[in-house]
């Protein structure tokens, strides 16, 4: 029997992705839609002896084809014609969700109406008459709670038992569709406004017949928002939450796990590998390649995997609570000063995880100007790949104040992004007023399965890089650091020293004009994770003592000849702000469809980082912080 194709569509924040994750679990393939960098999620499940393919379409409020997401949804539904289309509705905010429902029916797309979040609707005193709703639309209706396994099973039962070809719009909907066609064919002014009014009039009519509300007390969300999203407490609460996130990552959970991994690689894996290779009488050059190149390089990056997964988990958890939308609302007055709206802060927040999905996420912004500015300033954010550099240098040079130092780097990235957004808005792009439409979902405890899957999806990208790009880079770095045109050579006379010395001339006044730092800057453009891999090869970071304090002292004795605490901080600032990695630049090229903007992004970020780190170092010296 052929695989049953199911498409999930609906507004953002309706629990659609939670349903998708609970339907398919880890049986997912995540790619991109043709021609764009919007995530394409496809999952697979078997139910009642039937193979089911489920696709999670991008969340959208309409299908007017004004954004990439809207175009993807309408193109897929009309051209691919999945056998079942599930319109996931937030039962607690049904009126807003039904606008998309009417548009789908107007396009001749039969749907299963999934009343999701029924538990929240009941908490709000809402009662929905399912039978009457089916009669009003002429389509099957199912009630679900996305986190409930029984609900998901009931939904899969509907997939295998209902044939949408047997359903037809009700007389009421048919009459509405006829009116829409009549208005569209009249060629009058303001046709779209008239159709919108017609849709909302019908929605009001249907809502009056199917929904009853009891009780008028303020919801928990409203009570929390009174503190978290309004008044003078909103910004302090926001910064406190972000600071707490860093404490969890760098002090409480992430760092202890990172210390454990670091100790295992330095005290167990490396000596064991050396012993095995010596017993096998492996050639000295191959031993050096495997131990000093691969294990030192890749191991130096893998050490920071716990930090990155902890950060991704915290961000996914916050997003699941509904607080991230409040961040956009709170930051709107600030972002307005840059020429963007509060929505512009969302790609910046995603940038803390990885610049690539953050650049992709800029497609959700409402204007082309906003999208372009967001894509150009997002790389200033300190992403997960830059985190190992910050963690390493903070532990080496600021062991008693590591959290505050790393936090300041993140703040510097945010400030750079905001300032450059203002500069770009005032110079490169014409200033235009942008509308700000944002839904604030109710606060809820996140679905942990969804949080963990999102954490894995984001974190595994780092692991893949560590296993592929960083592996390859470690071998290249080892070769460049051990050979020159005459053959094997001391590191100070190697290819890498020559290349690094040429680049280091750019940083004579920055305090880190060594060939080692120059080499790390070059490899960091290929992949930010490679900065630590380079340091691992050049300074032997993997061969450290088990005790964290002693390990920091060990590494200080080697890197200390190249950096002071001030130059180390200037180097951290430079790495945080300079040219995006090749993957991010490739994404920018794909989004802009222009080499000019790609090269502009690579060049201007380097200049900004160069200037800022120079100012920090020189001003620091004047203030007596040069030691």
Which contiguous run of DSSP H or E holds residue 143?
strand 141-143
CA dist list (Å): 595 to 584, 599, 600 = 13, 6, 8
pLDDT at 542: 47
What pLDDT score does 398 carry? Answer: 87
Contact 298, 466 (CB under 8 A): yes
Distances (CA, A) of 219 to 51, 122, 135, 232, 318: 41, 12, 31, 22, 20
Helix-then-strand count for the chain, H and E: 30, 11
Whether the per-residue pLDDT at 204 is higher than 90: the answer is: yes
Most confident by average pLDDT, 151-160, 255-264, 605-614 = 605-614
Q: Cα separation of 480 and 483, whole Å?
A: 6
Which pTM was predicted? Answer: 0.67
- Count Cα neighbours of 516 within 13 Å in the Cβ-side half-sphere: 21
- pLDDT of the residue at 147: 84
3-class secondary structure, 437: coil
Under CATH, domain 4-213 is a member of which superfamily?
A: P-loop containing nucleotide triphosphate hydrolases (3.40.50.300)
Please tell me the chain's helix, strand, coil percentages from 3-state DSSP, rounded to the nearest 5.
65, 10, 25
Task: Give the confidence band of 179 by pLDDT, cuts at 50, 70, 90.
Answer: very high
User: How many other CB atoms are found less than 10 A from the CB of residue 588?
Assistant: 25
Confidence of residue 276 (pLDDT cuts 50, 70, 90): very high
> Considering the chain, what is the average pLDDT of its residues?
83
Tell me the average pLDDT across 203-217.
Answer: 86
Confidence bin at 618 (pLDDT 50/70/90): very high
DSSP 291: I
Whether 627 has a pLDDT exceeding 90, the answer reads no
Burial 254-277, CB ≥16 within 10 A → b, else e: bbeebbebbbebbbebbeebeeeb
The pLDDT of residue 262 is 79
Query: What is the rounded CA–CA span in Å between residue 577 and residue 380?
Result: 5
Least-confidence region, from 230-239, 351-360, 407-416, 548-557: 548-557
**Domain extents in the chain:** 4-213, 237-430+454-622
What residues have CB less than 8 Å from 230, skipping those under 6 apart?
none
DSSP assignments along 599-615, one per residue: HHHHHHHHHHHHHHHHH
Is the pLDDT at 524 greater than 80, yes or no?
yes
Query: Per residue in 295-344, pLDDT tens?
Result: 876 776 677 678 778 877 887 888 888 888 888 888 888 888 877 778 77
Are 54 and 67 a contacting pair, CB within 8 Å?
no
- What pLDDT score does 626 carry? 63
**pLDDT over 50 (residue 544):** no
| Structure tokens given for 429 | 């792009």
Q: How confident is the model over 525-543, as pLDDT tens digits?
A: 877 877 877 776 676 554 4
Residues forming a β-bridge with 211:
128
**What is the distance of C-alpha 400 from the center of its chain?**
30
If one counts every other C-beta atom within 10 angstroms of the C-beta of residue 350, the result is 25
Which of 270-274, 321-325, 510-514 bottoms out in mean pLDDT, i.e. has the lowest? 321-325
- Do the Cβ atoms of 24 and 44 come closer than 8 Å? yes
Question: Can you tell me the distance from the alpha carbon of 236 to that of 251, in angstroms, rounded to the nearest whole number?
Answer: 21
| Three-state secondary structure call for residue 41 | strand
Instruction: Name the residue with higher pLDDT: 203 or 395.
Output: 203
* Alpha carbon distance 33, 42 (integer Å): 11
**Hey, is 6 helix, strand or coil?**
strand
The sign of the dihedral angle between the CA atoms of 447, 452, 457, 458 is positive
- Picking from 204-208, 339-343, 436-440, which range would have the lowest pLDDT averaged per residue? 436-440
Contacts of 359 (CB under 8 A, 6+ apart): 37, 347, 375, 378, 379, 584, 587, 588, 591
Structure tokens, 558: 């080697």
pLDDT of 545 higher than 60: no
Burial 130-147 (b: 16+ CB within 10 A, else e): eeebbbbbbbbbbbbbbb
Q: In what order do the strands lie in the sheet with 112-116?
A: 28-32, 39-47, 50-56, 4-10, 84-90, 112-116, 141-143
């Amino acid at each position: 029997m052929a695989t049953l194709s199911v498409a999930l569509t609906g507004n953002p924040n309706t629990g659609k992705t939670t349903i998708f994750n609970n339907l398919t679990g880890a049986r997912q393939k995540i790619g991109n839609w043709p021609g764009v960098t919007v995530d394409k999620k496809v999952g697979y499940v078997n139910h009642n002896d039937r193979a089911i393919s489920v696709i999670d379409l991008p969340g959208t409020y309409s299908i007017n084809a004004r954004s990439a997401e809207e175009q993807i949804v309408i193109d897929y539904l009309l051209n691919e014609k999945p056998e079942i289309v599930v319109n996931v509705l937030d039962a607690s905010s049904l009126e807003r969700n039904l606008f998309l429902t009417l548009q789908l029916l107007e396009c001749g797309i039969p749907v299963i109406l999934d009343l999701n979040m029924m538990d929240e609707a009941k908490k709000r005193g809402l009662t929905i008459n399912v039978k009457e709703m089916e009669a009003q639309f002429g389509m099957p209706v199912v009630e679900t709670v996305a986190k409930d396994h029984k609900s998901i099973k009931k939904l899969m039962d509907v997939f295998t038992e209902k044939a949408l070809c047997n359903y037809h719009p009700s007389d009421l909907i048919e009459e509405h569709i006829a009116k829409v066609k009549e208005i569209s064919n009249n060629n009058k002014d303001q046709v779209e406004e008239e159709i919108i009014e017609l849709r909302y009039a019908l929605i009001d009519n249907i809502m009056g017949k199917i929904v009853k509300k009891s009780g008028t007390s303020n919801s928990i969300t409203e009570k929390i928002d009174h503190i978290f999203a309004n008044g003078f407490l909103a910004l302090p609460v926001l910064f406190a939450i972000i600071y707490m996130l860093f404490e969890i990552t760098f002090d409480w959970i992430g760092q202890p796990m990172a210390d454990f991994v670091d100790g295992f690689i330095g005290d167990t894996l490396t000596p064991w590998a050396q012993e095995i290779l010596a017993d096998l009488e492996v050639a000295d050059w191959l031993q050096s390649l495997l131990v000093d190149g691969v294990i030192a390089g890749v191991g130096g990056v893998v050490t920071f995997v716990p930090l990155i997964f902890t950060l991704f988990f915290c961000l996914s958890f916050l997003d699941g609570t509904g607080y991230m939308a409040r961040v956009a609302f709170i930051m709107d007055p600030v972002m307005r000063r840059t020429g963007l709206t509060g929505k512009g802060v969302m790609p910046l927040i995603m940038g803390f995880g990885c610049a690539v999905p953050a650049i992709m996420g800029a497609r959700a912004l409402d204007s082309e100007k906003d999208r372009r500015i967001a894509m150009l300033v997002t790389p200033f954010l300190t992403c997960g790949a830059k985190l190992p550099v910050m963690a390493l240098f903070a532990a080496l040079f600021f062991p008693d104040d590591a959290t505050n130092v790393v936090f300041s780097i993140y703040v510097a990235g945010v400030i750079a992004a905001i300032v450059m957004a203002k500069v770009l808005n005032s110079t490169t792009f014409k200033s235009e007023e942008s509308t700000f439409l944002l839904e604030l979902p109710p606060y809820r405890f996140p679905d942990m399965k969804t949080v963990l899957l999102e954490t894995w999806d984001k974190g595994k990208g780092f692991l893949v890089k560590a296993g592929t790009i960083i592996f390859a880079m470690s071998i290249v770095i080892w070769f460049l650091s051990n050979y020159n045109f005459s053959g094997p050579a001391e590191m100070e006379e190697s290819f890498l020293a020559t290349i690094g010395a040429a680049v280091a001339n750019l940083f004579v006044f920055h305090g880190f004009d060594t060939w080692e730092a120059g080499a790390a800057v070059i490899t960091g453009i290929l992949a930010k994770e490679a900065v630590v891999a380079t340091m691992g090869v050049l300074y032997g970071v993997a061969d450290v003592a088990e005790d964290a304090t002693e390990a920091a002292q060990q590494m200080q004795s080697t890197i200390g000849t190249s950096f002071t605490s001030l130059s180390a901080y200037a180097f951290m600032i430079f790495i945080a702000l300079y040219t995006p990695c090749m993957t991010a630049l490739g994404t920018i090229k794909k989004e802009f469809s222009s080499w000019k903007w790609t090269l502009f992004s690579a060049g201007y970020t380097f200049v900004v980082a160069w200037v800022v780190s120079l100012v920090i170092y020189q001003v620091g010296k004047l203030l007596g912080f040069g030691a």
